[in-house]
Amino acid sequence: MALSFDNLRIGKKYSLRNYGEVFDFQVIAMPEEGVYQVKDLHTLDKYLLEALTRFGKGKDFDLQEYGSL
pLDDT, one tens digit per residue, over 9-62 is: 999 999 999 999 999 999 999 988 889 999 999 999 999 999 988 888 889 999
Higher pLDDT, 17 or 2: 17
Q: Are 36 and 46 in contact, with CB atoms under 8 Å apart?
A: no
For the CA atoms of the chain, what is the radius of gyration?
11
Count Cβ atoms below 10 Å from residue 44 Cβ, excluding itself.
Answer: 8
User: What is the rounded CA–CA span in Å between residue 59 and residue 43?
Assistant: 26
Domains of the chain: 5-65 (2.30.30)
Q: Are 68 and 39 in contact, with CB atoms under 8 Å apart?
A: no
